[in-house]
Amino acid sequence: MAAAAALLFTPLTANEMLERGLRVLGVGMEAQARRLATTNEKDFESHFGSRPTVIADLWNRLHTTATGVPLLPGKHFPSDFLVALHWLRIYPTEKGRKISLHIGEKTGRKWSWLYAKKIAALKEELIQWPADWGERIFTVSVDGVHFRIEEPLHPTYKRDKQYFSHKFGRAGLDYEIAISIFESKVVWINGPFKAGKHDVRIFKEDGLMQLIPQGKRVIADRGYCGAAEVVSYRNDLDTEEVKEFKRRALSRHENFNNRIHTFKSLQELFRHSHEKHGIAFDTVVVICQLELLLNASPLFDV
């Protein structure tokens, strides 16, 4: 049935998605034609999180994916899909969105979470651990990334130390990300975890360390020194070439983390449940992963 539905679907081009996105923002066809192409594209990306080529590909994938339940042709509209991306990128309040996009509060909420869940489900096909790492010793860079949340209620104390993020000095959630060192792609995400749990504990106790093949190494910062049997971090015994290699791998990873934080739903204080934060995180990483896979904005080589 899903395959039959996919045959009825007509994909959107990048230009068609650009046109629809600008119309959602209130820029009509005549105004689009008068403006510079770069202005149209920058406005689209700044409000929807990525370039029209990436967002069009994402929309098309949602109709043809074998993961989860694909969108049915004729039952969904790009304008509603774009409302969800606008929410992830700008993170407006429902009242603010009602004014800026002229969409009802309940309607905006409905589409935001429906499409966020659909996009998040794509991680199963887009973020995969390689079956073979070849002959290279180094595999991935790994790091934990923290996000701010509202302080959870604690029966005794004002703050629950299990959620305390040393990066923000307040409650947070932590996610583990692994990026292939020799390819421009994310190969592992895990979380959310309470930010008070140290990154190396997450690495050792929650799955990733067990995936590292015997004789292979990952690159991380010194916070992972408790897993020195598989983690390689910068040290004084490295040659200058190895030091530079590790520095670039970690800098490249930080570049990806910064991309995630351009989405204000993850940059600002999150107003929803931890479960929904996980959905938002997975959705944003899927979008950023597509940028890498489509070569729209690849990571630099190590």
- Residue pLDDT, tens place only, 34-61: 999 999 999 999 999 999 999 999 999 9
What's residue 137's pLDDT?
95
Q: Is the pLDDT of residue 156 over 80?
A: no
Structure tokens at 39: 């202005």
Give the closest residue to 56 by CA, choosing from 282, 300, 296, 298: 296
What's residue 73's pLDDT?
87
**107: number of Cβ within 10 Å:** 14
* pLDDT band with cut points at 50, 70 and 90 for residue 1: very low
Give the pairing of strands 138-148 and 217-219: parallel
Q: Is the pLDDT of residue 199 over 80?
A: yes
**Residues 6 or more apart from 237 whose CB is under 8 A from it?**
none
Structure tokens at 281: 């995180």
As a whole number, mean pLDDT of residues 3-25 equals 87
Q: Is the pLDDT of residue 145 over 80?
A: yes
Q: Is the pLDDT of residue 279 over 80?
A: yes
What's residue 89's pLDDT?
98
As a whole number, mean pLDDT of residues 180-184 equals 96
**DSSP helix/strand/coil, 145:** strand
Q: What's the rounded Cα separation, in Å, for the pair 36 and 178? A: 38
What's residue 157's pLDDT?
66
Structure tokens at 59: 């929309």
What's residue 190's pLDDT?
98
Q: What's the rounded Cα separation, in Å, for the pair 184 and 299? A: 6
Side-chain half-sphere CA neighbours of 185 within 13 A: 13
Q: Is the pLDDT of residue 85 over 70?
A: yes
Bigger pLDDT: 153 vs 180: 180
User: What is the helix (H) or strand (E) element at residue 231, kind and residue range?
Assistant: strand 231-232
What's residue 4's pLDDT?
52
Give the pairing of strands 186-194 and 217-219: unpaired
The mean of the pLDDT values for the chain is 93
Is the bond into 192 cis (omega within 30 degrees of 0)? yes
* pLDDT band with cut points at 50, 70 and 90 for residue 247: very high
Which of 104-108, 116-120, 150-154 has the lowest average pLDDT?
150-154
As a whole number, mean pLDDT of residues 120-127 equals 96
What's residue 299's pLDDT?
95
CA 10 remoteness from chain centre: 26
Bigger pLDDT: 238 vs 90: 90
What's residue 176's pLDDT?
98
